[in-house]
Amino acid sequence: MDKLLERFLQYVSLDTQSKPGVRQVPSTEGQWKLLRLLQAQLEEMGLVKVTLSEKGTVMGTLPANVEGDISRPSVLSPTSTPPRISVVKTLIRRLLKTIAAAISRWVSAMRCSPR
């Protein structure tokens, strides 16, 4: 749990608010810092094919732990925050959605598991 809290505090310490009037995505260095941090952390967690696009999308694939042709959960990580929305609230919502999606994929994979 300490690692989760540590990561969360790292995320909320970065200013990921979008720069008003800028069409470029990501529009701030803070957004790029978060993207690079997420990319490194996904690689540390064992995801493969972790990429960071020029438009600021981090994607990675979780390798299968069972034999056979199964769908592989992927992680998609957008980071843009609208200027007037609290960064903390946005990160909490994203974190909860990501956790819920991961649990759902894990439960689905367990139903398909030959074990």
- Cβ–Cβ under 8 Å, residues 57 and 72: no
Structure tokens at 37: 């941090």
Instruction: Give the tens place of pLDDT for each residue, 48-99.
Output: 889 999 988 888 887 877 787 776 656 555 565 555 555 556 667 777 778 7
59, containing H or E segment: strand 58-61
Token duo for residue 53 = 């696009």
| Residue pLDDT, tens place only, 3-46 | 877 888 888 888 888 888 888 888 889 899 999 998 998 898 88
C-alpha 109/C-alpha 72 separation (Å) is 9
